[in-house]
């Protein structure tokens, strides 16, 4: 049979010739991306907690320090003298308390022999209680003085990077005076500006990564801000590192792989002001809508992998047309 006769037979049968490829053959999972930055959850100005003259600042900008590392030191002579004084006073109070307890014991022994008045016994009991209370007060004062001595050394509260040195040697500082600005190098997350229309695909993604300076860092979605930036029409989405973390402040992009296979964008056709693609089912063309997809964008296809996508002949089709698959 000649090609002309074959074409006449197809026309007579009302079938439109098309070529098809399966979704497994043509489908792909696109990688989308958005700008993102590594942010530290702790950007802290470490301050003095007591007054004193700043004697030494032992760190410089750019250094990485461990938690509890020494940052600066205050002149501690005044606080050390206070500690010595309160310790001496505490020792004297303990001696008074021991003597008062001894006197109470003697009075109790004499009271059992009825050789001392009840008034004197009560006085000895009150004296013993007062001296014990004084010892407790002075022990608390000793711990407070010891704490002030300990605070003469200003230490890092966490693993950090020194961002700024705010105090100078010889400066008289008060409680609350900032000494250094540090950035938490361990408690990090990624802030990404994600377009609203991309959120569903991001939340359904099977793999998300932060890419900076050519390095891929696996992350997972932590939170989506409910506030929309009206200017950029984006939302702030936060991610946490699942393995190795990038450096604080590092700029890069969030990339995610779509969980759905997408058909090529050039298969899109418009029918009645709606975009979609044609597939072949039991010898008929079926129009599959692609809601939310713009021209030039690959449409997501939640279809089986053996679905036959119509490639050639799709522009002249209508939903429900009879088709005949021909070999290319």
Give, in words, the CATH class of 3-29+262-325.
mainly beta
- Predicted pLDDT at 233: 82
Q: Where are the domains of the chain?
A: 3-29+262-325, 31-42+185-257, 77-149
The dihedral sign for the CA sequence 149, 155, 157, 158: negative
1.10.10.10, 3.90.1150.10, 2.40.30.170, 2.60.40.790: which CATH number matches 31-42+185-257?
2.40.30.170
Encoded tokens for 296 = 């030039």
In 3D, which of 298, 306, 255 has the Cα closest to residue 280?
306
- Residues in Cβ contact with 58 at an 8 Å cutoff, skipping those fewer than 6 apart: 70, 71, 72, 73
Query: What does the pLDDT profile of the chain (328 residues) look like in tens digits?
Result: 444 444 445 444 568 899 999 998 898 888 888 999 999 999 999 999 999 999 999 999 999 999 999 999 999 999 999 999 999 999 999 999 999 999 989 888 888 888 878 888 888 899 999 999 999 999 999 999 999 999 999 999 999 999 999 999 999 999 999 999 999 988 899 999 998 888 888 888 878 999 999 999 999 999 999 988 878 788 999 999 999 989 888 999 999 987 778 889 999 999 988 999 999 998 999 999 988 788 888 888 888 888 999 999 889 899 988 998 887 6
What CATH fold (topology level) applies to the domain 77-149?
Helix Hairpins (1.10.287)
State the pTM of this model.
Answer: 0.65
CA distances from 310 to 30, 48, 173 (A): 21, 73, 77
In 3D, which of 87, 77, 79, 81 has the Cα closest to residue 141?
87
How far is Cα 59 from Cα 136, in angstroms, rounded to an integer? 39
How far is Cα 114 from Cα 62, in angstroms, rounded to an integer? 78
């Amino acid at each position: 049979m000649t090609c002309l006769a074959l074409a006449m037979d197809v026309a007579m049968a009302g079938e439109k010739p098309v070529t098809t490829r399966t979704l497994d053959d043509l489908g792909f999972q696109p990688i989308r991306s958005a700008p993102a930055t590594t942010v530290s959850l702790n950007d802290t100005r470490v301050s003095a907690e007591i007054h004193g003259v700043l004697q030494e600042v032992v760190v410089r900008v750019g250094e990485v320090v461990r938690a509890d590392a020494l940052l600066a030191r205050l002149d501690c002579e005044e606080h050390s003298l206070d500690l010595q004084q309160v310790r001496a006073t505490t020792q004297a109070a303990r001696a008074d308390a021991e003597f008062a307890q001894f006197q109470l014991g003697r009075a109790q022994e004499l009271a059992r022999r009825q050789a001392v008045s009840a008034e004197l016994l009560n006085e000895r009991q009150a004296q013993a209680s007062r001296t014990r209370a004084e010892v407790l007060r002075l022990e608390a004062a000793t711990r407070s003085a010891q704490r002030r001595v300990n605070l003469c050394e200003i230490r890092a509260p966490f693993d950090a990077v020194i961002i700024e040195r705010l105090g100078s040697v010889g400066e008289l500082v008060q409680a609350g005076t900032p000494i250094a600005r540090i950035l938490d190098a361990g408690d990090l997350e990624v802030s990404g500006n994600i377009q609203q229309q991309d959120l569903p695909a991001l939340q359904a993604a099977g793999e998300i990564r932060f890419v900076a300076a050519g390095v891929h860092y696996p992350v997972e979605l932590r939170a989506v801000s409910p506030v929309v930036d009206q200017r950029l029409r984006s939302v702030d989405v936060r991610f946490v590192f699942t393995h190795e973390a990038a450096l604080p402040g590092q700029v890069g992009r969030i990339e995610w792989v779509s969980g759905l296979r997408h058909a090529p964008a050039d298969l899109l056709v418009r029918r009645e002001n709606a975009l979609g693609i044609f597939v072949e089912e039991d010898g008929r063309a079926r129009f599959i809508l692609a809601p939310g997809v713009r021209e030039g964008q690959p449409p997501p296809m939640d279809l089986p992998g053996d679905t036959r996508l119509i490639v050639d002949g799709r522009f002249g089709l209508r939903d429900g047309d009879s088709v005949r698959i021909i070999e290319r």
